[in-house]
Structure 1
């Protein structure tokens, strides 16, 4: 064990000279340390409608069915409908800046409503207006479904209820937190590739092999250093989020998920480095493998990001805890497979 810890300390000490890695860690530190401030700006990109307080969107409504959509728009506090007798007059008002968008609503022979929406092009408010137009059309769709329900031969599936949760809450737990938890995992795997591939490039692996260290000791030491990097960073980010007022539940289980992924991803990186020995090829293989693996996780009953989010908000289900165990088992299985490969084939030429 002492030999492996020596290798691990050597690897961690060498990270200080890697400017790219240090910069990546500093960026994550900045995001975690100032998360409460960054969330305000980032949520405006994640959900532009959440920052529209005080901004009343004025819709120019025209067309045969304009009288049907106008009351729907007026029912919302942040919208105002202005009816026009013709499409041309509505467009004149739009070009003159009197309204923010135009909704031309016509009725098809089948009774369906055909809506043509016109929004600003290249305006600073374009994203916000487009979001409000989408919400207005969603509200109109619900009103139409309710009005025509009695005429339908089959009962349609009910639309999902409008969400009432804060966009800041959703962004923090479903985007920001998973990002801070899994970004160190990717970083650790990439560092593991470099840590082994550079030994081949520099010819220093032969020096390690003439020491009392075995091939398994060398790989174990490197993997211990890289595998511990992600959980340590994740723990620091969770502490900073808590200091910024973000309540995090089930911290131990979240770190367990990160540890399981870290072990598995670092093992993938080490395998790529041992297989190709060339840094560029190994990094390419590792990157492609990570994309495939993490894309495949979204086919699972509960993806990793959802697992972390549910644990963080304190509402884990039995499936959530089962997925935590599955991630840990998969990580350990990957490490065991790599260790067996090293023990049987070694790491030399």
Structure 2
């Protein structure tokens, strides 16, 4: 319940989190104020025009690169771009070489780098347009510029998988605590007074944690839908969450029973979970990719195959775990 309350508290600041996390996912998506870029070199005019076309950047011209660097060190400009003409390696003609100088280790470094990158993209685009008449063959037309929002990609490739996989991992961690606490406090002996077996006790703890994960994921999906972010294939998505939850909860239960102490069991659970989830990159489709494809209603046969594969693995592991628990002597715990 404490974990649920913490997540609810975090969700209350979801708007601020989305803006902050999206800025990490795509720093160029966040307006960061005006910066001044010092421009110099024999190709200054082309670079000056590219900076002028970039919103959020103001060009400051200098006759010599040394003057631009002096202004940069004095803090008069945020970055320096020097454009020079050089002969092309093949076919004659010339190319423009641009050297960039940006702050090192500053909070504004990321913002400046993003702006400089956009300026260089603008310069490349305008040079392609101006020089297309010199080409012997007609080049592939450039795609039209579009101010697309990064929120779509961030939401479906980062945020939704995070919200879907967070509940299973929390359930597995709670399962470790629940089992080791019974063993450390000796309350498992009290449970033996009731006419139930150790398998029944483990079933109750494991199933409770397993069912909690898809229930919480369903609430996340509902909350996203209320906020205008639709998640397609909810049944397949919740099936995926249930299968992943079953695997990690089984892992937590087995480690709790085997180690019997909370601290080493939690540490080993965290390490093994990270290794397994990281090792999933070797699969044809990572679980996060599977969740994203289901959410945007773009699943492939491979996507459905992975979901069914996870379900099969979860069922087999649960059956093996019940056999393992049935062979444990309660006195050995």
Using the size of structure 2 for normalisation, the TM-score is: 0.83
SS in 2 for 1:345: coil
Instruction: Say if 2:308 is the partner of 1:294.
Output: no
Asked whether the equivalents of residues 257 and 327 of structure 1 are also in contact (C-alpha less than 8 Å), the reply is yes
Instruction: Say if 2:33 is the partner of 1:50.
Output: no
1:305 to 288, 304, 325: 288
Q: How far did residue 287 of structure 1 move?
A: 0.8
Query: Which stretches in structure 2 are left out of the alignment for 5+ residues?
Result: 90-94, 136-141
State the alpha-carbon separation in 1 of the partners of residues 127 and 323 from structure 2.
64
1:45-87 Cα deviation digits (max 9, x unpaired): 332221228x454422223554554454445455454432112
Q: How far did residue 134 of structure 1 move?
A: 2.8
Instruction: Say if 2:109 is the partner of 1:126.
Output: yes
* Cross-structure match for 1:6: none
Q: How far did residue 226 of structure 1 move?
A: 1.0
State the alpha-carbon separation in 2 of the partners of residues 201 and 249 from structure 1.
44
1:241-270 Cα deviation digits (max 9, x unpaired): 111222121111111111010000000001
2:82 to 99, 104, 111: 104
Taking the TM superposition and a 5 Å limit, the aligned residue runs for 1:99-248 are: 99-106=77-84, 115-120=98-103, 125-138=108-121, 165-248=148-231
Query: Which structure is higher in RCO with an 8 Å CA cutoff and minimum separation 6?
Result: 1
SS in 2 for 1:103: strand
Root-mean-square deviation (Å): 3.4
State the alpha-carbon separation in 1 of the partners of residues 60 and 163 from structure 2.
46
Aligned length: 324
Over 3 Å counting, the alpha-carbon distance change for 1:62 and 1:333 in structure 2 is farther
Asked whether the equivalents of residues 54 and 118 of structure 2 are also in contact (C-alpha less than 8 Å), the reply is no
* Cross-structure match for 1:259: 242
Q: How far did residue 96 of structure 1 move?
A: 5.9
State the alpha-carbon separation in 1 of the partners of residues 314 and 125 from structure 2.
46
State the alpha-carbon separation in 1 of the partners of residues 164 and 146 from structure 2.
26
State the alpha-carbon separation in 2 of the partners of residues 204 and 163 from structure 1.
63
Asked whether the equivalents of residues 43 and 83 of structure 2 are also in contact (C-alpha less than 8 Å), the reply is yes
Using the size of structure 1 for normalisation, the TM-score is: 0.79
State the alpha-carbon separation in 1 of the partners of residues 128 and 253 from structure 2.
56
Over 3 Å counting, the alpha-carbon distance change for 1:291 and 1:145 in structure 2 is farther
* Cross-structure match for 2:139: none
State the alpha-carbon separation in 2 of the partners of residues 189 and 161 from structure 1.
48
Asked whether the equivalents of residues 56 and 79 of structure 1 are also in contact (C-alpha less than 8 Å), the reply is yes
* Cross-structure match for 1:61: 39
Deviates more, 1:187-196 or 1:322-331: 322-331
SS in 2 for 1:210: coil
Query: Which stretches in structure 1 are left out of the alignment for 5+ residues?
Result: 1-15, 17-21, 152-158
SS in 1 for 2:82: strand
